[in-house]
Amino acid sequence: MTHRSRPAGLYSLLLLFAVASLASAQDSAAQTTTVSANRMTPIVKAVEATKRSTVNIHSEKRARTADVLFSAGRDKKINGMGTGIIVDERGYIVTNYHVVRDVELLRVTLFDGTAFEARIVSYDSREDLAIIKVDSKEPLPVMPFGTSSDLMLGEDVLAIGNAFGYEHTVTRGIISSLSRDVEVDEEQSYHNLIQIDAAINPGNSGGPLLNGDGEVVGINVAIRAGAQRIGFAIPIDDARLIIARLLNIERLNNHFHGLETIDHKQGRIRKLIVREAEPGSPAEAAGLLPGDVVIKAAGREIVDAADLERVLLGRPTGSQVDLQVSRGDETQTLTLKIANLSADRATPATRSLAGTIPSPPTAAGKKPVDSDKVWRLLGVRTSRVTADDVSLSGHPYRGGMRILEVRPDSPAASNGLQSGDVLVGLHVWETVTPENVTYVLDHPQIATFNPLKFYILRDSETLYGHFDIGTAAAALSSK
């Protein structure tokens, strides 16, 4: 057998070619991974830090067509688009409610192209925010959240969104104004919005507004039709309060902790302060006191109520969670035991507190009920409802105060209270009589109750919320 030989020069040539190719590949890789400091700007860094926590949302709904002659009454498909922000590694995403309203199908796409079907978990239509969820086998990257408490006019901001379906579009602008109130139509209005000139378009709704540090300071929500570069975003501090309510374990797990808190945010000073531990609740049993600052829960840093609800969400009844709290100059570790809402909690509005709330005045010379104070502070006029009233049938309430009128631009109006609602509780006390209501409003510590929790009965359903009585309460308590 013979072998054909190759010239030695050919081997040398091939070797030189291979070495040159390897060197070229290495140079190309170096150029790809090494970027000059001039190009790696704060904007690039901010986008890099947040792009994987921003998701694209595509929806499908059906709209009934009016053209019954040609459509034979068949439904028409409508495709929608929006943006979302990952708020929890388990797949919880916040977006605008109008992005997911009435949809039949939701699809979420991550930056790397991974797609999931999503479902709506909870929403607040008035505040136009919703939580949706995807089921991912791997933990998802959570968006870094900042604060809207120290925003400055003219400050650079970035918007990321699914603009006109062009996924992960990045636009840049400045903060044009703060505290804008915007009325969209008779059903939807917004308060305290951030106005920006970063270009946002249909599909940007629900996406992040970022500061120069790559932190979310707002959730893009609306544009001004027919205008150039006038957009609006919900301040993130406002949004985080709503997110906490939408992730609340009472709402999603039928569990409760009985902890009422205050999100304190002033620039870099951000902390969660205990306002109250509900009597008879796990929070009271854990030893939490008003003024405590929750630093950690289950070893995770806590900045606001949304952080705390995330830690508690999904844990079974009876789970014990260590809370690290700051009390004065000391740091303590307390154990919070999650309880079942229906079995272990009595609704505060139904508690009998005879002896705590004064009896209705009957003798001459007693201070009369100040209905004007109720009108000025809460924005409602009421009349008494007794326990045998048909509207209380099937409920344990001993009575209540039916709302007859709601003053526009009042705390009651901003919370959606309506004529016909029955006020059955304020703070931790029932409101069976007008005297019960004024007892709360005359309380020497009324300013510390803000926001003032309320309970109403509407169409056989008990609802609750919080009156922001703020400056008015402080002014009244000083009189």
53, 59, 148, 205: which one is catalytic?
205
Is 205 noted as a catalytic residue in this protein? Answer: yes
Catalytic member of 53, 58, 59, 98: 98
Verify whether residue 98 is a known catalytic residue: yes
Catalytic residue, from 88, 128, 307, 421: name it: 128
Neighbours of 93 (CB within 10 A): 27
Is 264 one of the catalytic residues? no
Query: Distance (Å, rounded) from C-alpha 146 to C-alpha 141?
Result: 16
The length of the chain is 479
| Single-letter residue type at 211 | N
Contacts of 343 (CB under 8 A, 6+ apart): none
Which residues form the catalytic set?
A: 98, 128, 205
